[in-house]
C-alpha cells in the first residue's frame, strides 16, 4: 500500500493526533486534535512534512501525493456540500504552512482560494452579499500574487489607494461591489503585465501553486537562517494545511481575533486578546483598524464569547500550557483556527509554570522543563519605573545586548567614567566600540552604549558578564569626540547630559528615567518582604524544584563581598572564580599597582607590594566572611600588565606638552620641580615601552608573570592565608582554593604550588592556626588539557577557563573575532558563536580529554568551569553530560545555571516521557459529521 501523505483533520482517533507533530506540523496536529475532540474547526486536511521532503528531493509534487490530495479534496467537497470553482456555492479554502515549530520565513497564509470570475458570482449569490464576494476575491488575488507568484505588493496597494481616494473612502471595507470589481480588473492586469500570464483561474491550478509555494518556503534564506540559529534540522520539512474557509468579514455579527488563555506579559490568569468585527485573516495584527479587547466580545456576541472561553480553557487544560489561539466568528458562529503554546515573558513563564503545578495541570518536573533558563534574567535586571518611562519618547534603537534598564550622565571616555563614578555620579559610557583597554571605565559606568558591534562585541560580552545593561550597534548615534557631543536623530546632547538605556529592548532615551531594582532583587537584597511578592515566591519555588533535581553544583564568579552576597542570595554554593586583578582597579589601588609593576628592583617591588597586601587581605576577608565556609576559589594575578599601565601614546603627548610649556632649564625652584616631573614621566614611559607586547593576550600573563616575579604570588598567598587565619580565629569557617591561571605545563604549576605551600606554612606557623586549603589550576590552554594527567599530580582541582580555551583552540581572539564570527555562523561554518556556547567538537573534546586524564591520574579531582559559558544553558547541559562537579558563573546567571542543570537531568531521563503522560480529556462534543455546509453544522 502506498504511504499516507494526506490526513483529514480528525480523520480517526488514531490518525491526526497531537503527537503526530513531526508529520503534521504544529498547526496541523492541533487542528486535528481539536477536530477529534468535537471543537468547531472548519474541516480540511494536512499534507505531511514527508511530502515536503519528497517535493524537495524530486523538485515536484509526486503523482501519488497529488492523487491523495485530490482524493481528500473530493472528500472535503462532499463534507461541505460545495464544489471547488462552483458557479452557485463554491468551496473556498485557505492554504496554510505549518512546520513542527513555527518559524519566520515560511509562506504566509493564502485565504479565499478557489475564487475566479465564475465562482465569485456563486459566492455573491449564495451569500446574498456581492460586496463581500468581491472583497474576498480582491484579497485573494493580492495575497496569491504576492506569496505564491512572488509579485511585489506595492502596485496592488497603489491601486487600492487610488480607488479609495476616488471614492472618498477611508478604509477598504467601505468600498462597494462596483468599485471592487474595477479593482479586481486592475489587479488582473498587474499580474498579466508582470508575469506575462493571466491570473490562474482553475482552482486546482491555484491549489497546486499554493501547496508548492508552501513546500518551497521551507528553503527560503530566512527560514534556513532561523533553523540554524535554533538548532532545527533542515530535514524536518513543513506540512501544508488546506482548510475550508469561514468568513469573519460578513458583517457585524462576524469577527476575527487572537488571544491568550493567560496574560503573556505577567502570567496572570485572565482571558487576554483582541478582535475585529467584519474582518478577515490578519487584519487584527496588521493594524489597519484598532482592534477591540476580547472582554468586549462578551457584550457584542455573548454566546460566541462564552463558547470561546470554554473551549480555550479546555485546550489549556488539555495541553497543560498557556494557549495562544486564533478564531473567526461567522454570523455569530464560532470557529477555532489555531491553538498553540503562547510565547511569554520571563515573569509570565515562571508564574504560569508554578500556577499550573498548583492547579494540578502539570508536574513539578514539567514546570522545571517549561521555563527557558535565560528568561530568568528578566526577573533580575533593574527596570524602568513604568510611570516615569511613559513620559518620554525613544530617541534611538540599537541591539539589546545586555538586559536591564540604566540611567546616567553621558561620558565618552573610560577615564571620565572612572572620575565621575568616583565623584559619586552615575554615568553611561558611550563609545564607538569598546576594547579591553576600556575595562576600568566599563566597570565604573552603570550602562554601556556603542555605535557599532553586535551581540558578541566586546561591549556586549562584557556588559552581560558584568550584569550591566548594554545597547550596542546603535548606528543612529554620531559621536563628536573633539567637542564632546552626541548627535541622535537630529538631537544633540553633550557630556554630563542625562541618558537612559533599556538593554532589554535596545532603546535609548534622552532623559533621566527613574529605574528601580526588580521585585525579585528587592526581595533577595532584603528591601522587600518575601510575602509581598508573588513573583518572588514563584521564582523561589521553581528554583527549589530545580535544586531537588540537579546534580551539578553551581558557584559564582565574584570578586567582591557584595558580589558574593548577591550570589549567595541567588543560590550560589561557593565561589568558583574570584579574579584578583579586578581588585586593583580602584583609584586607591591603581597607583600602587603601577608602582609595583614599574619597580625595577626586587626591594622596590616588595615595597610596593607591601602596600597592596592589606588591601588584598581585606578583599579576601570580605569574600570568606560572605561565603561562611563555602568553597572560595581565588585566582592569582592573570592579566597582561599593560592593562594597569598608562597608555604610552598619551604619556608621550604628556611629555611633549610638559617640555613645551614649562621651562626645565635654569635654577628656579619651579624649574627644578618641572625637570624632576619630566624625568619621572620619561622613566615611566620607557618602562611602559619595555613592557609593551605585540600580542599581550598570548604574552607575559598568568602564571608566566608570577613565575618570573614570584613576589606577586607570595603577596597574594600571604593575604589569602592571613585572611583565612583571621576568619578561623574569629569562628568563621573557610574553605579556600588557590587557582593558578594559564598553566600549559605541569612544571609551571609545580613551581607555583611550592611558593603557595611555603607561604601557607609560614602564615600557619606564625598564627598558630591550621588552615585546610586546595591548590588547583585553570585548564585554559589546549596543552593543559592534553597533559591533564601530569598536571593533576599537582592539582586538587581543575577549572575550565573556557573563554581562553576557546580563543586558544580556535586561534582567534574574542575581541577581534566579532568581525568575522557572525559571518561564520551565517555561512554555517560554525553552528553558533563559540564564545557564547561551548564548541562541543573542538573545545568540548579537549575538555573531555582533560576530564578523563585528570580523573585517571588523581581520583576525585574536583572539576568545574568558570568561563562565561558557565552561565549558558546549552554549555551547562554539556558540562552535565561531561560529568563535571560544578559550573561557576556571574551572580545573576546563577538561577539560569541552576535551572539549566536541572533540565540537563530531566533531558537525560527523557523529557518526551514527561510530556506524553495522560492528559485531561479534551472531549468537547461528539465530533460532527459534516454534511451540508460548515455553518451551523456542529451544533
Q: Point out which residues bind Mg ion (CB under 5 A).
A: 108, 326, 338
Q: Which residues of 772-808 are buried (b: 16+ CB within 10 A; e: fewer)?
A: ebebbbbbbbbebbbbbbbbbebbbbbbbbbbbbbbb
CB of 456 to Mg ion, least distance (A): 29
Specify the stretch interacting with ligand ADP by CB under 6 A; choose among 18-26, 239-247, 504-512, 756-764: 239-247
CB of 272 to Mg ion, least distance (A): 16
Is residue 381 part of the annotated active site? The answer reads no
Member of 256, 465, 500, 504 binding ligand ADP (CB under 6 A): 256
165 belongs to an annotated ligand binding site = no
Specify the stretch interacting with ligand ADP by CB under 6 A; choose among 8-16, 243-251, 355-363, 438-446: 243-251
User: Are 851 and 878 contacting, i.e. CB atoms less than 8 angstroms apart?
Assistant: no
Query: Residue 96, interface with ligand ADP (CB under 6 A)?
Result: yes
Which residues, 326 to 365, sit near ligand ADP by CB under 6 A? 326, 328, 337-338
555 belongs to an annotated ligand binding site = no
| CA pair distance 92, 489, nearest whole angstrom | 49
All 3 cell numbers of residue 641? 600588565
Specify the stretch interacting with ligand ADP by CB under 6 A; choose among 241-249, 296-304, 482-490, 609-617: 241-249
* 73/451 with CB nearer ligand ADP: 73
Q: Which string of x and - marks every residue 905-924 that binds ligand ADP (by CB under 6 A)?
A: --------------------
CB of 256 to ligand ADP, least distance (A): 5
Specify the stretch interacting with ligand ADP by CB under 6 A; choose among 74-82, 206-214, 244-252, 859-867: 244-252
Residue 930 CB neighbour total at 10 angstroms: 18
196 belongs to an annotated ligand binding site = no
* 147/717 with CB nearer ligand ADP: 147
User: Are 620 and 719 contacting, i.e. CB atoms less than 8 angstroms apart?
Assistant: yes
Q: Where does residue 374 fall: left (phi above 0), alpha (psi -120 to 50 degrees), or beta otherwise?
A: alpha
| CA pair distance 801, 911, nearest whole angstrom | 31
Member of 148, 175, 245, 368 binding ligand ADP (CB under 6 A): 245
Residue 140 CB neighbour total at 10 angstroms: 25
| CA pair distance 50, 469, nearest whole angstrom | 45
Query: Residue 246, interface with ligand ADP (CB under 6 A)?
Result: yes
- Which helix (H) or strand (E) segment is 797 a member of? strand 797-800
* DSSP string covering 36-49: HTT-----EEEE-H
Instruction: Write out the E strands in 607-697.
Output: 631-635
* 337/599 with CB nearer Mg ion: 337
Which partner from the list Mg ion, ligand ADP, none does 68 bind, CB cut-off 5 to 8 Å by kind?
none
Residue given cell 548606528 in the structure block: 475
Which partner from the list Mg ion, ligand ADP, none does 245 bind, CB cut-off 5 to 8 Å by kind?
ligand ADP
803 belongs to an annotated ligand binding site = yes
Instruction: Give the distance, in angstroms, between the CA of residue 71 and the centroid of all CA atoms in the same chain.
Output: 45
CB of 299 to ligand ADP, least distance (A): 22
- Taken in order 362, 368, 372, 376, the sign of the CA dihedral is positive
Q: Work out whether strand 886-889 and strand 553-557 pair parallel, antiparallel, or are unpaired.
A: parallel
Residue given cell 468579514 in the structure block: 249
Which partner from the list ligand ADP, Mg ion, none does 96 bind, CB cut-off 5 to 8 Å by kind?
ligand ADP
Member of 212, 282, 881, 885 binding ligand ADP (CB under 6 A): 282
* DSSP string covering 747-766: HHHHHHHHHHHHHHHHHHHH
Please measure the distance between the N-terminal and C-terminal CA atoms of the chain and give it in whole angstroms.
37
All 3 cell numbers of residue 739? 587557582
Total residues binding ligand ADP (CB under 6 A): 16
* 222/659 with CB nearer ligand ADP: 222
Member of 42, 467, 561, 736 binding ligand ADP (CB under 6 A): 42
Residue 178 CB neighbour total at 10 angstroms: 12
Instruction: Write out the E strands in 368-439.
Output: 383-384, 396-397, 399-402, 405-411, 427-431
Q: Which of 52, 866, 879, 889 is catalytic?
A: 866
Beta bridge partners of 798: 777, 863
CB of 245 to Mg ion, least distance (A): 14
CB of 217 to Mg ion, least distance (A): 10
CB of 586 to ligand ADP, least distance (A): 54
CB of 248 to ligand ADP, least distance (A): 7
* DSSP string covering 144-213: HHHHTS---SHHHHHHHHHHHHHHT-SSGGG--HHHHHHHHHHHHHHHHHHHSSPPP--HHHHHHHHHHH
Beta bridge partners of 500: 407, 509
Which residues, 149 to 178, sit near ligand ADP by CB under 6 A? none
CB of 828 to Mg ion, least distance (A): 25
* DSSP string covering 533-582: -HHHHHHHHHHHHHHHH--SEEEEE--SHHHHHHHHHTT--SEEEEESGG
Residue 797: φ, ψ to 5°: -150, 155
* 338/787 with CB nearer Mg ion: 338
801 belongs to an annotated ligand binding site = yes
Member of 203, 209, 273, 281 binding ligand ADP (CB under 6 A): 281
Q: What number of H helices and E strands is found in the chain? A: 36, 33
112 belongs to an annotated ligand binding site = no
Q: Where does residue 610 fall: left (phi above 0), alpha (psi -120 to 50 degrees), or beta otherwise?
A: alpha
929 belongs to an annotated ligand binding site = no
| CA pair distance 467, 377, nearest whole angstrom | 10
* 274/282 with CB nearer ligand ADP: 282
CB of 17 to ligand ADP, least distance (A): 20
Residues 6+ apart with CB under 8 A from 387: none
* 40/631 with CB nearer ligand ADP: 40
* 259/561 with CB nearer ligand ADP: 259
Which partner from the list ligand ADP, Mg ion, none does 111 bind, CB cut-off 5 to 8 Å by kind?
ligand ADP
Residues 6+ apart with CB under 8 A from 852: 788
Is residue 458 part of the annotated active site? The answer reads yes
Specify the stretch interacting with ligand ADP by CB under 6 A; choose among 237-245, 446-454, 711-719, 802-810: 237-245
Q: If 0-12 CB within 10 Å is exposed, 13-18 middle and 19+ buried, where does residue 357 land?
A: buried
* 18/519 with CB nearer ligand ADP: 18
Which partner from the list Mg ion, ligand ADP, none does 743 bind, CB cut-off 5 to 8 Å by kind?
none
* 281/631 with CB nearer ligand ADP: 281
Helix (H, G, I), strand (E, B) or coil at 93: strand
Which residues, 399 to 458, sit near ligand ADP by CB under 6 A? none
Q: If 0-12 CB within 10 Å is exposed, 13-18 middle and 19+ buried, where does residue 208 land?
A: middle
Which partner from the list Mg ion, ligand ADP, none does 8 bind, CB cut-off 5 to 8 Å by kind?
none
Member of 111, 120, 564, 734 binding ligand ADP (CB under 6 A): 111
Q: Which of 72, 381, 458, 794 is catalytic?
A: 458
Helix (H, G, I), strand (E, B) or coil at 508: strand
Instruction: Give the distance, in angstroms, between the CA of residue 101 and the centroid of all CA atoms in the same chain.
Output: 17
* 258/876 with CB nearer ligand ADP: 258
Specify the stretch interacting with ligand ADP by CB under 6 A; choose among 150-158, 238-246, 465-473, 481-489: 238-246
Member of 8, 49, 68, 109 binding ligand ADP (CB under 6 A): 109
Beta bridge partners of 89: none
CB of 328 to ligand ADP, least distance (A): 5
Q: State the binding site.
A: 579, 635, 780, 801-804
Q: State the binding site for substrate.
A: 579, 635, 780, 801-804
Q: State the binding site for Mg(2+).
A: 780, 804
What is the contact surface with ligand ADP in residues (CB under 6 A)?
A: 42, 94, 96, 109, 111, 243-246, 256, 281-282, 326, 328, 337-338
Catalytic residue list: 458, 866
Amino acid at each position: 500500500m502506498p504511504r499516507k501523505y494526506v490526513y483529514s483533520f480528525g480523520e480517526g482517533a488514531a490518525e491526526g493526533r497531537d503527537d503526530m507533530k513531526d508529520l503534521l506540523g504544529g498547526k496541523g496536529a492541533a487542528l486535528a486534535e481539536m477536530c477529534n475532540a468535537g471543537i468547531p474547526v472548519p474541516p480540511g486536511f494536512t499534507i505531511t512534512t514527508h511530502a515536503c521532503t519528497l517535493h524537495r528531493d524530486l523538485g515536484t509534487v509526486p503523482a501519488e501525493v497529488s492523487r491523495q490530495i485530490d482524493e481528500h479534496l473530493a472528500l472535503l467537497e462532499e463534507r461541505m456540500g460545495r464544489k471547488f470553482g462552483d458557479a452557485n456555492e463554491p468551496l473556498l479554502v485557505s492554504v496554510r504552512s505549518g512546520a513542527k515549530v513555527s518559524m519566520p520565513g515560511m509562506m504566509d497564509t493564502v485565504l479565499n482560494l478557489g475564487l475566479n470570475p465564475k465562482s465569485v458570482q456563486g459566492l455573491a449569490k449564495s451569500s446574498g452579499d456581492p460586496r463581500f464576494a468581491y472583497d474576498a476575491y480582491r484579497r485573494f488575488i493580492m495575497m496569491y500574487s504576492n506569496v505564491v507568484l512572488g509579485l511585489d505588493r506595492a502596485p496592488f496597494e497603489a491601486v487600492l489607494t487610488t480607488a479609495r481616494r476616488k471614492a472618498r473612502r477611508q478604509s477598504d471595507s467601505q468600498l462597494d461591489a462596483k468599485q471592487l470589481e474595477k479593482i479586481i480588473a486592475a489587479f488582473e492586469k498587474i499580474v498579466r503585465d508582470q508575469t506575462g500570464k493571466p491570473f490562474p483561474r482553475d482552482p486546482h491550478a491555484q491549489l497546486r501553486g499554493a501547496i508548492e509555494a508552501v513546500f518551497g518556503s521551507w528553503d527560503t534564506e530566512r527560514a534556513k537562517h532561523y533553523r540554524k540559529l535554533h538548532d532545527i534540522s533542515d530535514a524536518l520539512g513543513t506540512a501544508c494545511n488546506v482548510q475550508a474557509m469561514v468568513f469573519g468579514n460578513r458583517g457585524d455579527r462576524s469577527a476575527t481575533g487572537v488571544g491568550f488563555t493567560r496574560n503573556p506579559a505577567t502570567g496572570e490568569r485572565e482571558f487576554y486578546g483582541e478582535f475585529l468585527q467584519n474582518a478577515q485573516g490578519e487584519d487584527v495584527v496588521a493594524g489597519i483598524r484598532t482592534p477591540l479587547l476580547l472582554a468586549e466580545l462578551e457584550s457584542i456576541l455573548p454566546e460566541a464569547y462564552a463558547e470561546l472561553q470554554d473551549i480555550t480553557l479546555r485546550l489549556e487544560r488539555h495541553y497543560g500550557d498557556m494557549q495562544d489561539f486564533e478564531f473567526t466568528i461567522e454570523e455569530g458562529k464560532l470557529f477555532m483556527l489555531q491553538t498553540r503554546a503562547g510565547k511569554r515573558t520571563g515573569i509570565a513563564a515562571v508564574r504560569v509554570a508554578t500556577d499550573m503545578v498548583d492547579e494540578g495541570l502539570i508536574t513539578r518536573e514539567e514546570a522545571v522543563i517549561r521555563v527557558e533558563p535565560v528568561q530568568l534574567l528578566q526577573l533580575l535586571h533593574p527596570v524602568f519605573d513604568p510611570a516615569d518611562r511613559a513620559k518620554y519618547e525613544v530617541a534611538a534603537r540599537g541591539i539589546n545586548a545586555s538586559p536591564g534598564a540604566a540611567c546616567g550622565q553621558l561620558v565618552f571616555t573610560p577615564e571620565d567614567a572612572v572620575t565621575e563614578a568616583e565623584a559619586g555620579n552615575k554615568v553611561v559610557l558611550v563609545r564607538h566600540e569598546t576594547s579591553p583597554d576600556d575595562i576600568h571605565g566599563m566597570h565604573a559606568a552603570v550602562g554601556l552604549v556603542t555605535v557599532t558591534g553586535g551581540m558578541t562585541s566586546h561591549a556586549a560580552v562584557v556588559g552581560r558578564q558584568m550584569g550591566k545593561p548594554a545597547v550596542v550597534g546603535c548606528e543612529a548615534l554620531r559621536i563628536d569626540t573633539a567637542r564632546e557631543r552626541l548627535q541622535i536623530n537630529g538631537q544633540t546632547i553633550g557630556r554630563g547630559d542625562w541618558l537612559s538605556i533599556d538593554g532589554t529592548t535596545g532603546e535609548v532615551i534622552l532623559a533621566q528615567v527613574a529605574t528601580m531594582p526588580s521585585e525579585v532583587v528587592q526581595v533577595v537584597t532584603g528591601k522587600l518582604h518575601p510575602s509581598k511578592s508573588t513573583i518572588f515566591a514563584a521564582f523561589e519555588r521553581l528554583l527549589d524544584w530545580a535544586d531537588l533535581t540537579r546534580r551539578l553544583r553551581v558557584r559564582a564568579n565574584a570578586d567582591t563581598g557584595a558580589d558574593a552576597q548577591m550570589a549567595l542570595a541567588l543560590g550560589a554554593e561557593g565561589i568558583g572564580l574570584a579574579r584578583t586583578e579586578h581588585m586593583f582597579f580602584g583609584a586607591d589601588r591603581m597607583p600602587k599597582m603601577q608602582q609595583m609593576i614599574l619597580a625595577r628592583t626586587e626591594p622596590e617591588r616588595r615595597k610596593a607590594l607591601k602596600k597592596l597586601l592589606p588591601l588584598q587581605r581585606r578583599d579576601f576577608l570580605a569574600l570568606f566572611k560572605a561565603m561562611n565556609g563555602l568553597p572560595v576559589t581565588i585566582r592569582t594575578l592573570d592579566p597582561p600588565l599593560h592593562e594597569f599601565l598608562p597608555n604610552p601614546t598619551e604619556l608621550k603627548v604628556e611629555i611633549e606638552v610638559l617640555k613645551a610649556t614649562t621651562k626645565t632649564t635654569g635654577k628656579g625652584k619651579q624649574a627644578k620641580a618641572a625637570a624632576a616631573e619630566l624625568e619621572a614621566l620619561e622613566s615611566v614611559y620607557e618602562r611602559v615601552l619595555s613592557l609593551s607586547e605585540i600580542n599581550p593576550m598570548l604574552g607575559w600573563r598568568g602564571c608566566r608573570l608570577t613565575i618570573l616575579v614570584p613576589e606577586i604570588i607570595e603577596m597574594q598567598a600571604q593575604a589569602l592565608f592571613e585572611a583565612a587565619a583571621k576568619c578561623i580565629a574569629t569562628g568563621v569557617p573557610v574553605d579556600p582554593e588557590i587557582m593558578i591561571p594559564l598553566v600549559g605545563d605541569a612544571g609551571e604549576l609545580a613551581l607555583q604550588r611550592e611558593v603557595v605551600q611555603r607561604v601557607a606554612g609560614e602564615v600557619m606557623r606564625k598564627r598558630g592556626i591550621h588552615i585546610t586549603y586546595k591548590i588547583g589550576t585553570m585548564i585554559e590552554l589546549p596543552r593543559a588539557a592534553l597533559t591533564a594527567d601530569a598536571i593533576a599530580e599537582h592539582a586538587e582541582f581543575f577549572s575550565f577557563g573556557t573563554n581562553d580555551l576557546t580563543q586558544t583552540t580556535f586561534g582567534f581572539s574574542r575581541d577581534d573575532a566579532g568581525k568575522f564570527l557572525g559571518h561564520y555562523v551565517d555561512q554555517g561554518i560554525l553552528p553558533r558563536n563559540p564564545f557564547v556556547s561551548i564548541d562541543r567538537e573542538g573545545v568540548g573534546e579537549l575538555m573531555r580529554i582533560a576530564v578523563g586524564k585528570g580523573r585517571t591520574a588523581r581520583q576525585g579531582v574536583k572539576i568545574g568551569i568558570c568561563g562565561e559559558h558557565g552561565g549558558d544553558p546549552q554549555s551547562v547541559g554539556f558540562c552535565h553530560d561531561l560529568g563535571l562537579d560544578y559550573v561557576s558563573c556571574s551572580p545573576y546567571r546563577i538561577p539560569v545555571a541552576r535551572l539549566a542543570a536541572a533540565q540537563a537531568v530531566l533531558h537525560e531521563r527523557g523529557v518526551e516521557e514527561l510530556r506524553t503522560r495522560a492528559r485531561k480529556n479534551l472531549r468537547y462534543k461528539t465530533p460532527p459529521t459534516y454534511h451540508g455546509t460548515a455553518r451551523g453544522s456542529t451544533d
